[in-house]
Structures are given as structure tokens and as C-alpha cells.
Amino acid sequence: MKTLVIGNEAQAIAAIEKALSEEGFSNDIVELKFDNWPILEIVLEGPGYKSTITPDMAKALVELQRALNRTFARYAHGEASAIRLTDKERQDIQFKAKVEDGCSLIKVDLGEFAGKLATAVADKLTPEMLVASVVGVAVVAGSTMAYKAYLSARTKDKEIESADKTKIALSEQETRRLEVVAGLKTEVASIRPIEQDFDDVRDDIVRGISDATSLEVNGVEITRETALTAAKTLRVRSSDGQANGTYYVDESSFRNPHETRIMVRNASTHQQFPASFKDSSLKGAQIQLLKDAAFDRTKVYLSINTKERRGDIVSAQIVGVKPQPKNTPHRIKRRR
């Protein structure tokens, strides 16, 4: 057993580089530990900002928890939806934000989440993928470099104060580290949408400045004007779609009298995701078809309305159920 302790950004990048190298961790059983890193620290300065959280900043913290839930579900259950999380998992990864005296200082220990994620998926991933994935999540979720890269992208070609430009400019070392993260996103496909999820959280954080005069995140302080400029960039929204096709019903529970959630798996692509329906929206015969497919492990044709975001299905509603057509054998004409 090799214990790998990550206590800062430099150690995180070095671990990712080793995981992606030919040397890797192939001969080791890796135990990941995070030593007081990464810490998300938010400071709001302004009249009346003393140990208080505005509704806008509270919303940002709610979105942070949702992003953590989706990240955990992606690795622990193989899908981006947090629906699959058990009550115990939800409780275990729920963070407690500390609001300290003086100005409005908010602290969230994301290293604690990363450690729990590492424990949950240790037996599901190779040592290299464990380090690359979990340390990668810590970097894109809570590193100062990720926040500065976000601000630089959101304010590119826009008029902001020169002092703020200097504060958010990436150093030569940080630029090199970003190149390592770029390589990581190529090797570990799940990191890219996770980074985008946390960029959305950063959107909510800069919007949460409200009437404060300045916002500081992980030591990077910007004025209210720069925060509002960054917040004007539109985020990626969900789009409506359809996922009609032949499915297996892998898991089901028909106990909820109002809405039923089931786990479906596409028979062709093997894509698995949770879907739901209201009893009032389907006929009794259709619901029986779903029950039969779940019990007999047979295929069924489903019409599904979806909401998709960056290629992930974030919600799915079953609106139609049909029996899977059986193949009719061809008749062979006999020669006379």
C-alpha cells in the first residue's frame, strides 16, 4: 500500500503527471489522502458584510453541492445524474460551509469530498485512473489555477481594471500546469464535463457578489465590476431531446404512487440512465409492460423525452411504452 498525500496544487499536478506517464502506479496499491487541500475560500467585502451570506451566495453553495453530487454519481454509479445516490452517500458527501467572523468569509473543504470519492471508487479503478480521476476532480473543482483560468476566459477581450487583469493573469508555472490538465482531459473523458459543472458553480459565485465591493476566491481578489463582467457570459443551458428506442429495465421500483423512477439501458448503445413517469401519464397496460420487462429481463420499446446538457442526459421522462416487436420467421417455399 502506497499512501499518496496531496496537500497543494503542485503536488496534485505532479501526481497527475505520474499517473499519465509510462511509469504510472502499476506496481502500487494507492491510498489517496488530501491534506487540507483544496479549500474553497470566498471573501466578500463591503458595508454590512460581517458573518453573513446573501441569498445569491447561498444559491452558489447549493449549486456547488449539486456539482459534487453529480461528480460522485458519475464515478460511483457510472452516470452524471445524482438520482442514483443513496441517502447515506448524500449525507456522507454533504459539506458544511464555515462562515467566520469579521467580513463574510466562507470556507468549504473540498479535500474532504475528494478523499471520500477516492475511498468510494478505489476498487473500481486502476491506480493510475484513481489518481488521475480523483486528483483531477480536486484540481478542476477547487484549485486557484482553475479559478484564475475561469476568470481569464470569462473576461477575455472585455474591459476590466488593469489591476484585476494582473491578479487573474496566469503565471508561467500555472500555464504549464494547465497544459497538464488539458492532457488529463484528453486521457480521462469524464474530467471535461466535471470541469464545466464547476465553471457553472464559479458563474454563480461571481454572480453572488450582490452589492459587495469586492470578491476574493482562494486569494484572488477582484472588484465588483470585474465580477459582474465575468457573470455576463452565458452558461450552457439544457436542451430538449428524445431518446426513443429499445431498452432493458435494469432496476425498478413501482412503490411511489405519484411518480416512478426506473433505470433503463439502451439495448444498442448500452447507455444507462434513470427515467421517470407519472402513473397518470401512462396507461395501465403500458405500466404493466414495464413491470413485465423488469421482471422477465426482456426488451421493451420506450418513447422518452429528455433534457440534455453537454452530452449528458440530466432528466428523462417516459411518455410511451410499446412491446418489442418479435422477429417473424421467413417462410421458405418448397420446390415442387
Residues composing the chain:
336
The residue type of 63 is E
The reported pLDDT for the residue numbered 235 is 60
In which element (H, E) is residue 105 found? strand 104-109
The reported pLDDT for the residue numbered 331 is 45
The reported pLDDT for the residue numbered 101 is 67
- Asked if 120 and 90 count as a contact pair (C-beta separation under 8 A), the reply is no
The reported pLDDT for the residue numbered 334 is 45
- Asked if 50 and 101 count as a contact pair (C-beta separation under 8 A), the reply is yes
- Asked if 32 and 196 count as a contact pair (C-beta separation under 8 A), the reply is no
The whole-model pTM stands at 0.75
Q: In this structure, what DSSP letter does residue 324 have?
A: P
Give Cβ neighbours of residue 97 (< 8 Å, ≥ 6 apart).
53, 61, 106, 107, 108
Longest dimension (CA), the chain: 100
Q: In this structure, what DSSP letter does residue 174 have?
A: H
The shares of helix, strand and coil residues in the chain, as percent rounded to the nearest 5, are 45, 25, 30
Of 233, 234, 226, 266, give the one whose Cα is nearest residue 250: 266
Tell me the torsion sign for CA atoms 86, 89, 91, 94. negative
**Do you find a cis peptide bond into 274, omega within 30 degrees of 0?**
no
Residue whose C-alpha cell is 422477429:
327
β-pairing verdict for 30-34 and 2-6: parallel
The reported pLDDT for the residue numbered 226 is 96
The residue type of 152 is S
The reported pLDDT for the residue numbered 179 is 96
Q: What tens-digit pLDDT sequence spans the chain (336 residues)?
A: 789 999 999 999 999 999 999 888 877 778 999 999 999 999 999 888 887 788 899 999 999 999 999 999 999 988 777 877 999 999 999 999 988 766 789 999 999 999 999 999 999 999 999 999 999 999 999 999 999 999 999 999 899 999 999 999 999 999 999 999 999 998 998 899 899 999 999 999 999 998 999 999 999 999 999 999 998 866 656 678 889 999 999 877 666 656 788 889 888 888 888 888 887 788 889 999 999 999 888 999 999 998 877 667 777 899 999 997 655 444 444 444
Of 39, 22, 28, 20, give the one whose Cα is nearest residue 3: 28
The reported pLDDT for the residue numbered 335 is 46
Give Cβ neighbours of residue 87 (< 8 Å, ≥ 6 apart).
none
Start-end of H helices in the chain: 9-20, 55-77, 87-92, 110-121, 127-142, 144-154, 162-168, 172-187, 191-207, 224-231, 284-296
- Asked if 249 and 302 count as a contact pair (C-beta separation under 8 A), the reply is no
